[in-house]
């Protein structure tokens, strides 16, 4: 059984690479999907369809294009890993968690201890809370071994 893992959330650190490399090092039969993680590219996803004067509609158009990719990723994955970093609002990460919860799709949160209280609804609906990519790798290995 190959499992599909969607890596949602923070795009400013190398947590995705660490998880992917850790799983490859252990030879786990997993495939990984992510949103577009280059901030500028993501914000510009809709520009090809024509420029917008108002930033609200530019955002709107790009978010719609990005959603093709992120929704497909969420719908197709077996497990999501949702990362909250120490900066920014990251409402899209929490949005993805709620999306998974409604679909009954298991997800693992990855974040440091200091944001445990504001993330309590998100963590409670999760199957696991990890604080390091290594822990995520160990959980994935356990699940698929």
Hey, which residues between 1 and 20 contact a second copy (CB under 8 A)?
Answer: 1, 3-4
Site for a second copy in 20-39 (CB under 8 A): 31, 33, 36
**Cα 68 from Cα 113, distance rounded (Å):** 32
62 lines the binding site for a second copy (CB under 8 A): yes
**Cα 50 from Cα 6, distance rounded (Å):** 30
Spatial CB neighbours of 95, under 8 Å, sequence gap ≥ 6: none
**Cα 72 from Cα 19, distance rounded (Å):** 21
Binding a second copy (rule: CB under 8 A), the pick from 17, 76, 86, 112 is 76
Spatial CB neighbours of 28, under 8 Å, sequence gap ≥ 6: 140, 141, 144
Site for a second copy in 113-132 (CB under 8 A): 115-131
Applying CB under 8 A, the span of 13-21, 22-30, 66-74 interacting with a second copy comes to 66-74
Applying CB under 8 A, the span of 10-18, 21-29, 102-110 interacting with a second copy comes to 102-110
């Amino acid at each position: 059984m190959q499992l599909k893992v969607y890596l949602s959330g923070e795009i400013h650190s190398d947590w995705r690479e660490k998880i992917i490399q850790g799983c490859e090092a252990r030879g786990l039969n997993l495939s990984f999907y992510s949103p577009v993680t280059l901030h500028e590219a993501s914000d510009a996803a809709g520009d090809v369809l024509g420029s917008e004067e108002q930033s609200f509609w530019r955002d709107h158009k790009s978010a719609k294009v990005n959603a093709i990719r992120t929704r497909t990723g969420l719908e197709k994955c077996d497990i999501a890993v949702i990362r909250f970093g120490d900066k920014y609002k990251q409402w899209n990460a929490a949005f993805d968690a709620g999306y998974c919860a409604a679909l009954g799709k298991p997800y693992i949160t990855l974040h440091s201890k200091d944001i445990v209280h504001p993330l309590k609804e998100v963590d409670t609906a999760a199957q696991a809370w990890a604080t390091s990519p290594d822990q995520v790798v160990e959980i994935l290995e356990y699940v698929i071994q």
